[in-house]
Amino acid sequence: MNALTDEDIARALAEVLEPTPGNLVPIPAVHGAALAHLGVTRGASFRNIKDVLRAAGVRVASAEPGADHHAYDVALTPDAQSAELERQTRRLRRPSR
């Protein structure tokens, strides 16, 4: 699959995020939820996700230098939370190599 467009990413983010003042979500969780919603595992980098979030007016920052970035004042929708939890669980069940 080719790289996702900003429009693809924006549509996915609109489906997996909801406004929630005072909340923050780690960018890796936003990334995973957006890709899962699109039914892909690749095609957008964390940078792509952050750029689209910023273009939509969502604050993206890290609490301190070197820390993970978070999206502020949003939350994953309940469906996106379930998908992200399932993704993390699958990763834990993989045999180590």
Range of the domain at 39: 6-90
- The verdict on residue 97 lying in a domain is no
Domain count, the chain: 1
- The verdict on residue 16 lying in a domain is yes
For residue range 30-62, what is the model confidence (pLDDT) as tens digits? Answer: 999 999 999 898 999 999 999 999 999 999 999
**% of residues, the chain, pLDDT over 90:** 66
- The verdict on residue 50 lying in a domain is yes
- The verdict on residue 95 lying in a domain is no
Give the 3-state DSSP-derived string for the chain, with helices as H, strands as E and coil as C. CCCCCHHHHHHHHHHHEEEEEEEEEEHHHHHHHHHHHHCCCCCCCHHHHHHHHHHCCCCEEECCCCCCEEEEEEEECHHHHHHHHHHHHHHHHCCCC
Task: Give me the pLDDT at residue 29, please.
Answer: 92
CATH number, domain with residue 77 = 1.10.10.10
- The verdict on residue 53 lying in a domain is yes
